[in-house]
Amino acid sequence: MTIELGQKTINQLADALMQRLQEKQGAEYVRTSEAAKILGVSEAYLRQIKDRYPHKKASSNQQGALLFRRDALLPT
C-alpha cells in the first residue's frame, strides 16, 4: 500500500515531530512579550529579528503567536 503526501502535509508532520523531540528534551518556550523582556528589545523589533533565535508558531496558521526557546535567549 502506497500513500502519497503533499508538501504541506510533510511539513506539518516534520513540525509536529520537531515539537515532540523538543518537548522530550525539555526545551521551554516563552511568548514574544517575555522573550523581548529577556533580550531588552521591543516586541516589534523582536518580530523583525526572529530568525536569529530558535522559535516556533503556537498554531499552524500564519497569525499564530511566536514562541521562543528560553535557553537560546539567555546569555551564556
Per run of 10 residues, the mean pLDDT along the chain (length 76 residues) is 85 76 73 95 95 86 82 84
* DSSP β-bridge partners for residue 67: 31, 56
Specify the pLDDT at position 11. 79
Cα distances (Å, whole numbers) of residue 51 to 4, 40, 48 = 31, 17, 8
User: Whole-model pTM?
Assistant: 0.61
Residues 35 and 73: beta-carbon distance below 8 Å: yes
Specify the pLDDT at position 7. 86
